[in-house]
């Protein structure tokens, strides 16, 4: 049975270099659905992380693992931009990293084929796109069907694609947020695992709103990974021969 945690308890201690959390009156549990959970039950799940930038979501996953809130190991970190900040974070957590520069490949499919081979070589079970700024192809999606997770800075299905924060501000909506979902061939359209709502405050800029959305990304991503793996393992148990 999974342990249920409130949104204000998961993760218990956000990384010191991540944006400051929302005020307490904006951290009510109803802003996150479903509530984050610890886990998954059973053996630690082997994760492969894809990242392109500073790696704050990678950091949230690594810290959740270190604090015992996510029952997982990071088998490999794959990044595509030389000098990406995520590399230093991976080094601090003693995670093996691999540069696969998309500029060195003739097509998206060629890059994704190399990613698949690298993930499989490291025994990866689930893939997490933690700020992976590349469109993935069926080459990668099919290799990890229903075992790829992405996080997007909007309440999907609203504001898909690039510039989600700017899209939200331009639209005049009063609630923004973030979504963790399974990856399918259609961009930002896979089944939703978990969402967090973030009020848009008077005077918000793209930068200020992005910082608050990131806080919630770091809160829900580890719990959504646990939720997805728990669900998948439960289905396998239900369908296993008696």
Kindly tell me if the per-residue pLDDT of 8 is higher than 70: no
Question: How far apart are alpha carbons 178 and 213 in whole angstroms?
Answer: 7
Q: Name the average pLDDT for the chain.
A: 88
136-177 pLDDT per residue, tens: 999 999 999 999 999 999 999 999 999 999 999 999 999 999
List of residues 6+ apart from 160 with CB closer than 8 A: 152, 154, 187, 188, 189
Check residue 33 and give its pLDDT: 87
Question: How far apart are alpha carbons 226 and 69 in whole angstroms?
Answer: 9
Between residues 10 and 108, which one has the greater pLDDT? 108
User: How many C-beta atoms surround the C-beta of residue 133 within 10 A?
Assistant: 13
Question: How far apart are alpha carbons 184 and 148 in whole angstroms?
Answer: 8
| Residues of the chain above pLDDT 90, percent | 79
Banded pLDDT at 22 (limits 50, 70, 90): very low
User: Which residues is 72 bridged to in the sheet?
Assistant: 45
Among 237, 225, 242, 184, which residue's Cα sits nearest to residue 64? 225
Catalytic site residue 152?
yes
Banded pLDDT at 20 (limits 50, 70, 90): very low
Of 102, 152, 181, 218, the catalytic one is: 152
Check residue 41 and give its pLDDT: 85
Q: At what angle do helices 164-171 and 206-239 cross, to 10 degrees?
A: 120
Banded pLDDT at 30 (limits 50, 70, 90): very low
The mean pLDDT value for 25-48 works out to 77
Given a contact cutoff of 8 angstroms between Cβ atoms, the answer to whether 101 and 81 are in contact is: yes
Q: By mean pLDDT, which of 166-175, 177-186, 228-237 is the weakest?
A: 228-237
Domains of the chain (ranges; CATH) run 44-239 (3.40.50.170)
The mean pLDDT value for 214-239 works out to 93
Given a contact cutoff of 8 angstroms between Cβ atoms, the answer to whether 198 and 31 are in contact is: yes
Check residue 203 and give its pLDDT: 94
Banded pLDDT at 50 (limits 50, 70, 90): very high
94: alpha, beta or left, given left = phi > 0 and alpha = psi -120 to 50?
left
Question: How far apart are alpha carbons 53 and 49 in whole angstroms?
Answer: 12
Given a contact cutoff of 8 angstroms between Cβ atoms, the answer to whether 64 and 11 are in contact is: yes
List of residues 6+ apart from 235 with CB closer than 8 A: none
The length of the chain in residues reads 242
């Amino acid at each position: 049975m999974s342990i249920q945690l409130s949104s204000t308890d998961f993760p218990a201690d956000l990384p010191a270099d991540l944006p400051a959390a929302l005020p307490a009156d904006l951290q009510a549990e109803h802003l996150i659905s479903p509530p984050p959970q610890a886990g998954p039950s059973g053996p630690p799940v082997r994760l492969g992380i894809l990242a392109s930038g500073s790696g704050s979501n990678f950091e949230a996953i690594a810290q959740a693992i270190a604090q015992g809130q996510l029952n997982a190991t990071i088998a490999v970190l794959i990044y595509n931009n030389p000098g990406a900040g995520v590399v230093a974070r991976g080094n601090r957590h003693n995670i093996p990293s691999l540069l696969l520069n998309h500029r060195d490949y003739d097509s998206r499919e060629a890059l994704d084929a190399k990613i698949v081979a690298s993930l499989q070589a490291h025994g990866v079970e689930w893939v997490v796109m933690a700020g992976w700024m590349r469109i993935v192809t069926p080459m990668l999606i099919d290799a990890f069907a229903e075992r790829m997770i992405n996080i997007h800075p909007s309440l999907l299905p609203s504001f898909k694609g690039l510039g989600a924060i700017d899209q939200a501000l331009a639209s005049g909506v009063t609630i923004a947020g973030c979504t963790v979902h399974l990856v399918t061939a259609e961009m930002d359209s896979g089944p939703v695992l978990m969402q967090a709502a973030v009020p848009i405050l008077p005077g918000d800029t793209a930068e200020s709103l992005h910082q608050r959305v990131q806080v919630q990304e770091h809160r829900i991503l580890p719990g959504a990974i646990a939720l997805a793996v728990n669900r998948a393992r439960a289905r396998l148990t239900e369908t296993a021969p008696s």
